[in-house]
Amino acid sequence: MLWSAAYVLSGWALETASPAVVSISRFAIALIVLIPLAIRRPRFVRTLREPRTILLGLTGVTLYYSFANIGLLFTTPGTAALTAAFLPVLTAGAAVALIHERLTGRTWVGLSLATLGVALVAASGFRVDVGVLLNIVALASYALYTVLLRKDAGRTGSPDALVLATATGVWGTLIMLPWLAWEALTGAIEAPGDARGLVSILVLALVVTAPTLVLFNYGAERLPAAVSGVATAAIPALGYGFALLLGEAFDPVKAIGGAIALTGVVIATLAAPDVEPSPPGSALPEPAELATGQITVPRDHERGNRA
């Protein structure tokens, strides 16, 4: 829901600010909030040093947001939002190809309905241009990011979602800095020139970027990658709902398409496990128990919950 509002806000910010400024400032401001929270939790510094975190930052932050924001210079925010229709299919394809994920029947049904729904939403206003192609590259990068999150989920010593999301954001922002330097050297750098642009960046950072970075990481590590991809079909559907609230004329085809897409999201989500995986290491003895040698053996139902 938060992500679906990002296209309009980014479009407003890019009216006066350059793409690198918008991309980096939204993450830099978000990290001002996230880092003080993450640094208090275990394994933050170690997570920053891991090559996997750098790869996640490159795919899920640098490449995705760079191509998406540049794409908005060549297409409208509405068209860019509709392009998100490709993300469920790209994610499912990457999940099958890279981690050999097997799609359940419900996931196939949900994916089909989600694709049909967003196709209907897009039917009235979608057009292919350079901006759309750049956004597809961005979406392919994010599909890879989603699969990478799922691939290593639950490994021993895995950080929690807040730590991993923050560390990913740090690396993604750092890797974007040469882009900002290039804008400065070529004279293309532009700061927000009006109140709407400045407020848009602040809202993007604090209301959209910071929460979605953590929430998506948390969900993507606990759901099949294809299901996470199908969930993103809600972006164009909910984006159309926001457009109606902002005064866009009602289109019954888009409304029906949005409803079908959301139905697909619900069906695919129902295919997910009913029990959330336990955090890594939850079945290990507490440090105090190890120190005293008094290790408590969990009862049967506790073993089941930890499993």
Predicted pLDDT of residue 294? 47
Predicted pLDDT of residue 129? 75
Match 């793409």 to its residue by tokens: 19
Helix (H) / strand (E) element for 83: namely helix 77-83
Angle between helix 234-245 and helix 252-270 axes, rounded to 10 deg: 140
Spans of all domains in the chain: 3-276, 278-307
Distances (CA, A) of 91 to 33, 78, 98, 294: 29, 22, 10, 47
DSSP for residue 297: P
Q: What mean pLDDT is predicted for residues 96-113?
A: 83
| Residue 182's pLDDT band (cuts 50, 70, 90) | very high
DSSP secondary structure string, 85-139?
THHHHHHHHHHHHHH-PPPPHHHHHHHHHHHHHHHHHHHTT----HHHHHHHHHH
**What's the sign of the alpha-carbon dihedral 35, 41, 46, 52?**
negative
Instruction: Tell me: pLDDT of 44 over 90.
Output: yes
Q: Whole-number mean pLDDT of the chain? A: 80
DSSP for residue 61: I
Angle between helix 86-99 and helix 130-151 axes, rounded to 10 deg: 40
CB within 8 Å of 177: residues ≥ 6 apart: 24
Predicted pLDDT of residue 306? 45
CB 113 within 8 A of CB 234: no
Instruction: Tell me: pLDDT of 155 over 90.
Output: no
Predicted pLDDT of residue 248? 66
CB within 8 Å of 291: residues ≥ 6 apart: none
Range in 27-41, 45-59, 136-150, 238-252 the model is least confident about: 238-252
DSSP secondary structure string, 2-48?
TGGGHHHHHHHHTTTS-HHHHHHHHHHHHHHHHHHHHTTSTTHHHHH
Instruction: Tell me: pLDDT of 235 over 70.
Output: yes
Instruction: Tell me: pLDDT of 274 over 60.
Output: no
Predicted pLDDT of residue 293? 46
Task: Residue 150: name the closest of 236, 10, 277, 11 by CA.
Answer: 277
Which structure tokens are listed for 256? 């029906």
Of 43-47, 75-79, 94-98, 250-254, the range with the highest mean pLDDT is 43-47
Predicted pLDDT of residue 171? 96
Instruction: Tell me: pLDDT of 23 over 60.
Output: yes
DSSP for residue 67: H
Task: Residue 226: name the closest of 169, 278, 267, 257 by CA.
Answer: 267
Q: What percentage of the chain has pLDDT greater than the value 70?
A: 79
pLDDT digits (tens, 9 = 90+) for 51-70: 999 999 999 999 998 898 88
